[in-house]
Amino acid sequence: MERITWDQFFMAQCHLLALRSTCTRLSVGAILVRENRIIAGGYNGSISGGDHCIDHGCYVVGNHCVRTIHAEMNALLQCSKYGIPVAGASVYVTHFPCLQCTKAIIQAGINHVCYALDYKNDDYAMKLFAQSGVSVQHIPFDERKVDFSGNGKFELVNDMLQKMQQLGADDKELGPLMQRVNDLFGK
């Protein structure tokens, strides 16, 4: 496996944190980084000790789940709770921050936002980031770079396709399948 970039490493951490999400509508993870060191992380979920959406359903008001604290806010609040300064740090997040998180990010002194997926990107959020001098960078996350069993999976699928060919499947049938395999594994 080749060494991944810092950006891909931090995005992988965000996606890993998102797996802890208790929101049934969208799983989001965020980390705060200073000098290539993670200082905090968060995922979207309920308050500590509160009811979770995965157990009790979303509590939706005005098309938003009000039970959930966003990943970016959880990371910022973790720093507040433990006295960790965030001014000058970067935030990496799985999805583009909502308007409320955008304002909190700016107010906390974060100077760089990196996100993997577009999600209801708010034009006003972009305007606020620009007005505040916060740089915003879209960094697509390539899950294949952190698939520790990817080579084994690729070999298994190739063996299966070869067996299909031996059993009489022709190139017309196997061609589209092989293309899908190559796309999936980035070959």
Residue 95: other Cβ atoms inside 10 A? 24
In contact, 8 and 31? CB cutoff 8 Å? no
Extract the tokens encoding 50.
């509160």
72 is catalytic: yes
From 114, 125, 160, 97, select the one nearest 9 (Cα to Cα): 114
Active-site choice (2, 72, 155, 173):
72
Tell me, letter by letter, the H, E, C secondary structure of the chain. CCCCCHHHHHHHHHHHHHCCCCCCCCCCEEEEEECCEEEEEEECECCCCCCCHHHHCCCEECCEECCCECHHHHHHHHHHHHCCCCCCCEEEEEECCCHHHHHHHHHHCCCEEEEEECCCCCHHHHHHHHHHCCEEEECCCCHHHHCCCHHHHHHHHHHHHHHHHHCCCCHHHHHHHHHHHHHHHCC
Catalytic residues: 72
